[in-house]
Structure formats: C-alpha cells, structure tokens
Chains A and B, each alone.
Chain A
Amino acid sequence: MLPVVIPLRLFLGQLFCLCVGLAIESTLLLKRAELPRQIAFHYTLIANVVAVSVGWLVLFAGQGLLFNGVREQQLLSYLFTGEFIPDVSMASTQFTCAMLAIVLFLGGLLIKPYSIRLLQRLEILPLPPNANLGTDDPRLNALVLLRLRERIEGSIQIGHVLSTLATMIFFLVASTSLWL
C-alpha cells in the first residue's frame, strides 16, 4: 500500500484560502453592510463553498482541454516536482497559467454575489433584518432592498479581492522565507 502520493498540500491550501476568505468577507459584511453576526457568517460560508465547488466542477469539465499535449507534461511537472521542464516550449503553459489565474479570480468575483442572490430568491438564505423598515410603501421597500443588496454584493466583492491579495502575499512571503 505504502508509499502513496496524495494531493494533501493542495487540499490544506484550499482550506486555508477558504478560512482567510471567510474571515475577511464576514468581517466586511459585519462592518460595511451592517448585517448581524450569524447571517454574515452564513452568507460568506455558503458563497465561498459554492464558489469552490463550482470551480472544481469547471476544472473537471475542462480537464481534457487543459491537460493535453506538451502542456500536460509541463503542468504535471509543476504539480509533482514544483518546477517546469526546461528546454520545452513554455509559451502555451505560460498563457494557460495566466488565463487560469485570471479566470479563477474573475469567476469568484462573479459567482459569490450571484450565489447569494440566487439562494435568497429560493428562500434558502434569509433576508437581512435591516431590509424590513416597517413601511407600507412597496416601492420604498424595494428601494431599500436594492440598496442593501448592492451593499452586500459590493462588500463581498471587496472581500474577495482583499482575501486574494492576502493569500497571495502570504504564499509569497512563505515561499521566499523557505527560499532564503
């Protein structure tokens, strides 16, 4: 049975990124959108986990496209040994890695607010209590709800950018400290 190769560091790194995202985004929802503590946590938890699962499913859907030809060897070499193969054309791999990073970032930016809005429509996530002003005017209520949604989605997007930056800085510092 032994030895076994497991992508354990990948899973732990993903858990770490999830925790950082949870902390930063829920704090922003708490302070900027002024949601109650539990609702802010539920919103960020569901948005992050949905984004991660959608990302994995898209990865498996595009696996045949991503891992073919010389690119497969380059990506596997990077996955397993941490370095690319020298003397093999790098142009395709560089383009793929850059596109992957951009698509991951923008996809998270789009999916996180959209998943919260969808689950609110399906009445799975609760509306925040400060959406209800107690007025009878439906137009005023709708306006308040719209403003609140903008606030929630804006803070989630800002939190996404901030948590991406934070994890990037962390891994940069960690890798340079290992290197030194």
Chain B
Amino acid sequence: MGSVVDRLKSFFALLAPPRLVSWQSMFLFGVGLWVVYAVVGLADPENIVDRYILRRVGWFFIAGGVVWRQTLDPVKVLGFPIGAWAAASVVITFFFENEAQQWTQTGFILWPLLSGLLATLSYFLATSGHWRIPSQLERIKAVVALTVGIVLACWLKFYFVTQDWMVKYPRLWDAQIEHSSFMATLQDPRETLGHGLVSEVDRLLYRRFNGQPWPEIEKQLQQYLTEPDKMETELKQGTDDRPPVTLPLGSDWDIQFSVTGTGEPSYTLTTTTTWESPLFFDDRDFSVVRVCEVTRAPLPLELFNEATQTGLLECNTSPEFIFAERKVKQAGVESPAAPPEAPPVPTPDRNGTPMPVKPVPPVTPIVPTPTVPSR
C-alpha cells in the first residue's frame, strides 16, 4: 500500500515542472486545455467548434511535451525503448485522425517511420538541450532504427494492399488460406473449432463425386436426396476406412445437403456444415457453406463412350471460382445473360420429389459465401 503511494508521489514529482520552459509545463498545459474542454462540454454540449479546437490544441501540446520528453531521455520498458513509439503515436493521433477518431491508413503507415525518426532525433540532442554529434555506436543504432522503421512501414502497407485485394475479390474469403505459404487467418477460436470437420466433409465430397463414373454419381445423388441425413450419419458413425468424426469439447454438429440443377450441364451441391459453440452460455451456431459443382469431366478423344464418362467436382474454394467472375467477363460472349450472382439456393424439400428439377440458368455461377458466423 505504501509503495503505491510512493509511486504516485514519484509520478507527480516527475510531472512537476522544474522551470517554466520544460516538457512538463507543455504537457500540463495540454492537460489543462483538456480540463477546459471537459468543462465546456458540460456547460454547453452543443458548442462543437470550440470543443473541437480545444481538444486539438490540447493534443498538440501533449504531443509536444511527450516528444520533448522522449528526445531528452528515451523511456525503456524491459530494456526495449518505447519512448519513440509512444511519442510517434501521440503525434499521429494529432495529425492523422479521421472523424470517427480512428487512425487513417496513412497514419498507420507513417507510425514506424516517425518513431524511427524520433529515435534518431534523440541521438542528436544532448540532455542540456543542445545539438551534439552522436557517437559511433549511436549512429549505427540510428541507421538500424530508420531502416527497421521503413521495413515495418512496408509490412503495414502490404497488409493494407492485401485488404484492398480482399475487397476487389470478395470470394477470397472462401479460399483455403491454410494452404497458402504467405497468408494466415486470425479467427474466433469457436469458428476454427469446426475446420477439421469441414475438411472431412470436403474429403468425403471429393471421394464420392470426383473422378467417379457419371451414372454412379447420379445414383449417389439419388441416395443422398432420399436419405437427407446420410452424410451426417456416415461421418458420425465412420466408415470402415475412416474413423468417426467428433469435434473437440464435444459440441454438436449438423450437415445439410441439397442439390439443384438438372445435370445437363451440371449439378450444384450445397453443403452447410453447422456446429454449436462449446461454451454453455452462448447458443450461437457457426457454419461453413460449400457450394460445389459436379460436371462431366472432359473426355480424352479416343475413349469417347458413355461408360468412361466421369464427373469433375469444383467447389467455391478452388481458385477458378474465386476469380471466375472476371473470367466470365473476359470471355464476354459465352454467358451474356448470366447474372453475376445466383439467387440463394433454397432449402431442400425433404418430403417432395427426390431430384428437384428447377429451371436454372445454363451457366450456374457460384454464390459467394463468406464464412461469417450465423446467428
């Protein structure tokens, strides 16, 4: 208890200005402007302009005080100098903040650069406030700080470039980013829980429908439509070469399977894998949708007969479908009437006809299905 009081005392002793022109007085002036800002806000909440000016000028003085403090004596936490980073973040908050009080993209990119510059500046200033020539080791440190700042800024810029690509090609959300050697996803752990199950479903779909003879595929589709829970029971009980699938933490899961299309150009299979959150206090479900298309595989010329006609499965995770929209645009003539997005696939009518024959457009585009948690 006493140590806390001592620490608070030493903290306020640090903030007491030793003379009039010092970083402490600049910092305290900014804090005082903020107090005025708060008082004006309480007295007259509709006075936006004056409050805005007060807040900005307060930030300016606080930023100046922090930068001044940093250049005099860089602050270190666990041996790592963070003073430059803190000062740069304060400066960027002053200059690069949008209306929603968030940092802009430019601000993020400039942050490491500016902190490298401030770290370099601290080597050129003596404690007395005069300029000095840094020593040999400090010059090397300054160059390393600047170049590492450039590299970090380039990393942030590349991150924003990838976000632009995700906006330009929204179907990249469906891609299997686990297979990439450059990208990684940060996801809700409740959502990554079912990824083993989803890859098991993928494997089952490929085993059943890829490279099999075409009549065999149609028979399989009939079977899956007459027994809607067949895929689920197959996975839950396991086959002779596959162990049964269970999710970690024992959460329950469910698979819905539906088929559209006449089979003339193709069948479209929609597999929705849904699993429950393992936490007892939230009843959210998470789901991943795979929209796959079974077509007749192109035949080699010398084997042109019906017996060797096999099927080809392509899902919305394959790169062809991720970039398919632009491919259609480039081809131009093939599908002028095809809409860019198909209407959502209706839920299967489990009591009706086994093979729903619906009038679908000849080229069935794949619905982009971002794997967001469904409530």
Q: Which residues of A contact B (CB under 8 A)?
A: 2-11, 13, 42, 45-46, 49-50, 52-53, 56-57, 59-60, 63, 73, 76-77, 79-88, 119, 123-126, 175
A63 to B154, CA, bound (A): 13
Q: Could you list which residues of chain B lie within 8 angstroms of chain A, going by C-beta atoms?
A: 136, 139-140, 142-144, 147-148, 150-151, 154-155, 157-159, 161-163, 165-166, 169, 172-173, 175-177, 179-188, 191, 317, 319-320, 322-323, 326-327, 371
Asked if A8 and B183 sit within 8 Å, CB to CB, the answer is: yes
**What chain A residues lie within 8 Å of B157 (beta carbons)?**
60
Q: Are A126 and B136 in contact (CB under 8 A)?
A: yes
- Indicate which residue in B144, B185, B191, B323 contacts A85 across the interface (CB closer than 8 Å): B323
8 Å CB contact of A73 from B151, B181, B323 = B323
Q: List 19 A-B contacts (CB under 8 A).
A: A4-B185, A5-B163, A5-B173, A5-B183, A6-B162, A7-B184, A46-B140, A49-B147, A49-B148, A52-B147, A53-B151, A76-B165, A80-B165, A80-B175, A80-B182, A81-B176, A84-B319, A123-B139, A124-B142
Majority SS of interface residues in chain B?
A: helix
Kindly list chain B residues whose C-beta atoms are within 8 Å of the C-beta of A9.
180-184
Chain B residue numbers with a CB within 8 Å of A73 are 323, 326
* Beta-carbon contact of A81 and B175 below 8 Å: yes
The verdict on A45 contacting B144 (CB below 8 Å), with A56-B150, A81-B319 known, is yes
Given contacts A2-B188, A5-B185, A53-B154, whether A80 and B148 have CB atoms under 8 Å apart is no
| Chain B residues positioned under 8 Å from A87 (CB to CB) | 320
* A83, B181: Cβ atoms closer than 8 Å: no
**Could you tell me if B186 and A49 are in contact, using CB atoms closer than 8 angstroms?**
no
Instruction: Other than A6-B162, A7-B182, A80-B165, give 16 A-B pairs with Cβ distance below 8 A.
Output: A2-B187, A2-B191, A5-B172, A5-B177, A5-B185, A6-B183, A6-B184, A7-B162, A10-B183, A80-B172, A80-B180, A81-B180, A82-B180, A82-B181, A86-B320, A125-B140
Min CB distance B120 to A, Å, is 11
Write the chain B residue with the least CB distance to A3.
B187
Return the chain B residue nearest A4 by Cβ: B186
The answer on a CB contact under 8 Å between A76 and B185 is: no
Q: How far does the alpha carbon of A13 sit from the alpha carbon of B180 in the complex, in Å? A: 13
When distances are taken between beta carbons in the complex, the residues of chain B under 8 Å from A49 are 144, 147-148, 151
Q: How far is the CA of A53 from the CA of B116 in the complex (A)?
A: 14
